[in-house]
Structures are given as C-alpha cells and as structure tokens.
A and B are shown apart, each in its own frame.
Chain A
Amino acid sequence: MHVTSSVRPPLVTGGKKYEDVTQDICKQVEGAPSTAWKIAFSFSVLIFIYGGYCLWMTWYDGIGMWGLNKTIGWSWDITNFVWWVGIGHAGTLISAVLLLFRQKWRTSINRAAEAMTIFAVICAATFIIAHMGRPWLGYWVLPLPNAFGSLWVNFNSALMWDVFAISTYFSVSLLFWYVGLIPDFATIRERATGIRRVIYGALSFNWDGSAKTWSRYEAVSLVLAGVATPLVLSVHTIVSMDFATSIIPGWHTTIFPPYFVAGAIFSGFAMVLSLMLVTRVLYNLEDYITIEHIESMNKIILTTGSIVGIAYLTEFFMAWYSGVYYEAFAFQNRAFGPYWWAYASMMTCNVVTPQLFWFRKIRRSLVWTFILSIIVNIGMWFERFVIICTSLSRDFIPSSWAMFSPTMYDVGDFLFTFGLFFTCFLLFAKYFPVINMAEVKAIMKSSSEKKQ
C-alpha cells in the first residue's frame, strides 16, 4: 500500500471521483470537435500542405534546393533533426524514468508527452530521409547486401548507430505508448456505440481489466520502463556522436553525450509544457494538470538548463585549456564571429532566462511558464544551429570560409514538420484520451484532494 505524506499537495484537485475522471477525459473524445480545434487543425493542415510542396520539390529536384554550399554541407536539415529528436526525449523520460522513480505526477502528463515524442521522432526522421537526397534509396542504410556483392554498411559509423538508435527508440516508444492506451480504449469502448464501438473495440485489444492481466501489465510496464530508461539516454548520446566522432573543431569533444542528453530533456520538457498549457485550458484539465505538475516540470527545466549552461562554459574552458589552436579559434568564432547573434540568442534563451525559474512565483505562473517554454525551444534550436553552422562555416582553409543562408525550401521543409507535428497532435488530442485515466485513478486514493 502506498502512503503519501499529508504535506504533499494533491495531484488531482476538485474532489474528483473515479467516474468523474472517466467523464472528464472521455467527453473530449466523444464530443464533436470544438471550433478552436477546427481552426487549429485547418491551420496545421495548411502548413502541412505548403511544407509538403517544399519537401516534394526538395525530393524532386534534389537537395540543391537547400542553401547548402561546398563548405556548409550540413545545416538546417541536421539542426532540425537534432532539435526534433531532442524534443522527442521528454515523453519516454516522463513515462519510463519517472515510473522507475515512482513520481506520481507523471500520470497526468505521460500520455500526451509520449504522443509528442512519437510525432517529434517522425518529424526528425523526415529530415534524415530528406537529407539523403534520394529518399527512395533510403533502405540502403539497412544492413542488406547490395547489388555489387556483399558489401555491407559500415558499423563503425556513428550515422549507422543512429539508424538503429532512432528506429529502436521510435518503435519502443510507440509500443510503450500503445500498451498504456489499451485500458483507456477499453473504457471508451464500453461507453461507445455503433461504428465507434467497433473501432475502439479493435483498438482496445480485447481488454477486460482482469486482475491477472493487470498483474502481467504491471510486470511488462516495469520492464519496459527499465529498458526504455537507458534507451532514452542512449539515443541522444548516439546523436551527439554523429558530431563528436568527427574531427571538426567544436564537434570533437567528449562532453557531447551528457550535454546533448541534458539539452534534449530540457527542450523536451519545454515542448511538453507549451503543449500541455494550451491543452489544459482548452480541455478544462486544471484539476488533473495542476500548478504542482507545472512546477515539477519547471524544476526539471531549471536543472537541465543549468547543466546545459555549465556544459557551454566547460566547452569554452576546454578550448582554452587544451591549447589546441583550432579548438580555441572555433569557440572564439562562435561567440564573436559572424554568427555571434546566433550564439547570443542561444546563451540568452538557454542559460539566462531559465534561471528565472529559481523564483517560486515564476515557476508557478502559467504565463511565465508558457513564455519561457517557447523561449527555451527557440534557444535549443539555436544551440544546434550554432554547433553545426559556426563550426562548418570556418573551414581549415580560410579561402573556403562561407556563410549559410536558408532558401524557401529550407524554411518550407521545417514548416512541413511543424504542420505534420501539430496535425498529428491535434488528431491525437481529439480521438485519443489525452490523460491516462487508469493511472490517474490508481493514484487518486493517495494523491487526490478529498471532497470536504
């Protein structure tokens, strides 16, 4: 039996009963889409279509449509990829790591955060496929014998590790998310009639909620959380190795894996907050996603943001302390070179502004949280841009130095992923239960506000 200290603030407010949870969450799935939803959905689809056109042109004419040049061979594509993958770290972290740590506040946010993870990883994969130039040959990254004999892929390459890491992360996150959804689909099934009952019946996988099945479900969840935890850490570690195993000054550092993982959690939580604050208002979920939840997430943002800040300073220190001329130049150039504005944006958004979360009032303010979460995401995009573009723009031979300017196709492909992400998220928010009803009910005895 769980015992929770009475001084802990309740995680479910409003004196809810079990049936209220079902009613509050299911009514969003069962009702007709609201006007706000329809407007948001149409807008996302429009962006998706415009971005789809740009992506099609990129595929049709090749990646010459991007603003890449001989010096800067990787730019927005990889920046966007790393940014999306980073965002995709919060979901599985919340559901797996916080499950292992028995953090009960995870139950209200894990469902939406995991959905966000899955969509973010799909967006990230879009850039991987697109930057291949010939996406129809994408299967060449798999260990298949090629047409000229059995020349295999090179398993020494960090890019190859990435293929396995991202695809494993995507499939395991999807599995984890779906297993969690099954009991809730059963709840919706029992309330539905007609064709909806057939659809949710199939989605609910014959779930009846028997004690034996729950016992197995718990065993499976625990082991899945156990294997997903190192998986989350491994994914961004491997993404960072795409850079760290190269010999480009500014990339070739051993601090990259922990620093990227902290940055990923940082941006992931910021995105969860941006999305959940809006969902919370539109769906009247104030009793389930309370100020306590928001404050807990802000504390994680503050911690990871500070880790990222220390990593930035450590990089600078190492550039000087190592005595390597190229490394020192790379970092001087980052801060004071032609991309100083990107660096300054990164520092302001990632290091300075999140420190405001030291103030309890700001941590518990919805408006401040929303603004800072957006700022963090902008900052994290700049972080990847700074790492990738400033290092590449200053080649070893000064005659090769170049700058990068994006074309409309760079911008359009980025917009495509936004369209895709929000279209998927809105569909999820309408047709799937946004809060894990079964898990919220399970913590209510210990963590809910009692009706007076």
Chain B
Amino acid sequence: MEKANNFLVGIYDDEDVLLDAVGKVKKSGVKIYECYTPFPVHGLDDAMGYNYSNLPIVGFLCGMTGTICALVMMIGMMGFDWPMDIGGRPYIPLPDFIPITFELTVLLCAFGMTISFFIVSNLNPWSTPRMFDPRSVDHKFVMAIDLADNKQDAASITTILKGSGATEVNKKSFE
C-alpha cells in the first residue's frame, strides 16, 4: 500500500468556469492531478494537455483482425477443407463472403476497442473508485490537486483555486 495521499479538491459550479480555471491554475505553476466532471466537457482534455486517445487505432487493428479471421475462416473451410461443387460455381465466391467479413470486422473492432478502453481506464466491476467528491458525478465539477506533486503549500493553492472560481476547496486524503 502506498502512503496516504493528500489532495486539495476545488469544487466548481459550471463547466466553463472549470475550463478557464484549468488554464489559470496551470499558469500559476500548480500541477493539476485530474479533473472530474459529470459529463464530457469539450476542450477539457486539451486544457489538461491530454493527447487524443489511441483507442481508435486499437479499434482499427482489432477490426482488421476480424476481417482477416473471417476471410481465412471462410476461404479455408469452403475453398480448401471441404470444397463443395454448387452448380459449378467457384469454390471461393468472394462476393458471398462480404457480409460475414463485414460483420466480424465490426464485432472485433467494437469489442476490442471497448475492452481496451475498460483496461486502460481501469473500468471493472470489482474495484472501488476514488471519489474526490460524490457530487462530481451529479452536478459539480471537481479539480483535484496532489499536494505531494506541488511545492506550494495548501494555503496558497487554496487561494489560487478560490481565485480561479472554485466555490469550495476541501481537503481529501486516501489511504
């Protein structure tokens, strides 16, 4: 178990105030641990400096795997393992393979990408989330600052958070 982390939690009432606050707080040299919002706030990922997710690439690769698996399966089964003469038509009728190839591409893309999302974001039914403030999944917008990451003391960070529009600043520590 890592040692107890102490956080300062700024609570904002509005997503646009939070969005501005991220810039302001960063400018004053405070490192933000993470922001928590009840819904996706557009522009917050840019403000926080996050790169665009690589998950679509994972989805593409999984989808390609689906395409290849489907074609290998159908060509292998119908063309080589047990070729059937159906009215003298080709053993490997590619146009007939389009629907299933498409379906398996979509299936593997969707599941591969979503399962990767669950893994990288640590989304699973058995963990208990660290909630800085339960209202962050309801109507408040939360900015968490890890005190260990910052040189400034709690009092000055509190002033910065308040100055950026936070309506409350609370302390929170996790075991």
A-to-B contact residues, CB < 8 Å: 1-2, 17-19, 22, 143, 149-152, 154-156, 160-161, 164-165, 168, 171-172, 175-176, 179, 182-183, 186-187, 189-191, 201-220, 222-224, 227-228, 230-231, 234, 238, 241, 437-439, 441-442, 445
B128 at the interface (CB under 8 A from A): yes
Other-chain contact of A152, B77, B86, B136 (Cβ < 8 Å): B77
Contact B36 A208 (CB under 8 A): yes
Other-chain contact of B111, A175, A215, A230 (Cβ < 8 Å): A175
Other-chain contact of B106, A179, A186, A231, A439 (Cβ < 8 Å): A231
Known interface pairs A214-B45, A217-B117; A206-B103 also in contact (CB < 8 Å): no
Contact A212 B34 (CB under 8 A): yes
Contact B53 A210 (CB under 8 A): no
Most chain B beta-carbon neighbours within 10 Å: one of A164, A175, A189, A210 = A210
Contact B107 A172 (CB under 8 A): yes
User: 11 A-B contacts, Cβ less than 8 Å apart?
Assistant: A17-B139, A143-B73, A151-B82, A152-B81, A156-B93, A165-B103, A205-B123, A211-B37, A211-B45, A216-B120, A445-B16
Other-chain contact of B131, A190, A213, A214, A445 (Cβ < 8 Å): A190
Contact A214 B40 (CB under 8 A): yes
Other-chain contact of B104, A151, A164, A207, A222 (Cβ < 8 Å): A164
Contact A220 B44 (CB under 8 A): no
Q: How many A-B residue pairs have CB under 8 A?
A: 198
Contacts of A222 on B, CB cut-off 8 Å? Answer: 56
Known interface pairs A19-B139, A179-B114, A210-B35; A164-B124 also in contact (CB < 8 Å): no
CA distance A141 to B38 in the complex (A): 44
CA distance A412 to B93 in the complex (A): 41
CA distance A442 to B43 in the complex (A): 13
B156 at the interface (CB under 8 A from A): no
Contacts of B106 on A, CB cut-off 8 Å? Answer: 168, 172, 227-228, 230-231
Other-chain contact of B110, A17, A217, A224 (Cβ < 8 Å): A224
Contact B124 A206 (CB under 8 A): yes
Contacts of A442 on B, CB cut-off 8 Å? Answer: 39-40
B63 at the interface (CB under 8 A from A): yes
Contact A218 B40 (CB under 8 A): yes
Known interface pairs A203-B125, A227-B109; A211-B36 also in contact (CB < 8 Å): yes
Contact A216 B36 (CB under 8 A): no
Q: Mark B11-22, 1 if CB is under 8 A from A, else 0.
A: 000011000000
Contacts of B73 on A, CB cut-off 8 Å? Answer: 143
Contact A234 B99 (CB under 8 A): yes
B127 at the interface (CB under 8 A from A): yes
Contact A438 B110 (CB under 8 A): no
